Amino acid sequence: MTDRALPPTNTNDDWLDAVLHADGREHRAAYLDDAGFTARVMAALPAPAALPAWRKPALALLWAVAGIGIALALPAALVDVAHDVVRLFVGHRVSLAGIAAGVAALGAATWAAAALALREE
């Protein structure tokens, strides 16, 4: 479909890339000229539909209303969460061994997440 040369392939490509590049060379050699048919079809296609002008202001207004609603509801939710956290911690005795176990569990989870994120494939 095009007469442009492809960029040189990397010598570190895997076998599948090499097979696909070889297949592409074979098909480029067998290209049949369509005498501009593809260009005429693409030119005859209708233009993409444009978004209405009111869409961006309406979305901005909806996000603003949602943000204001969240800001108004947040203080009550924050107070409820704080009461539950205080009730949870005041109701349970905390020992040094419990704190050490929690820190060890968080450290292990952090190490595992970092090892997963930084692994080389």
4 located within any domain: no
8 located within any domain: no
10 located within any domain: no
1 located within any domain: no
Query: Under DSSP, is residue 1 helix (H, G, I), strand (E, B) or coil?
Result: coil
42 located within any domain: yes
What is the per-residue pLDDT across 45-76, written as a single tens digit (0 to 9) for each?
998 888 888 999 999 999 999 988 888 888 88
What is the per-residue pLDDT across 2-30, written as a single tens digit (0 to 9) for each?
555 555 555 565 888 888 888 888 777 77
Q: Give the residue numbers spanning the domain of 75.
A: 15-118
The tally of domains found in the chain comes to 1
> Which secondary structure element, helix H or strand E, spans residue 62, and what is its range?
helix 55-91
pTM above 0.95, yes or no: no
5 located within any domain: no
6 located within any domain: no
Let me know if 75 is exposed, middle or buried by CB neighbors in 10 A (0-12, 13-18, 19+). Answer: exposed
106 located within any domain: yes
Query: Under DSSP, is residue 11 helix (H, G, I), strand (E, B) or coil?
Result: coil
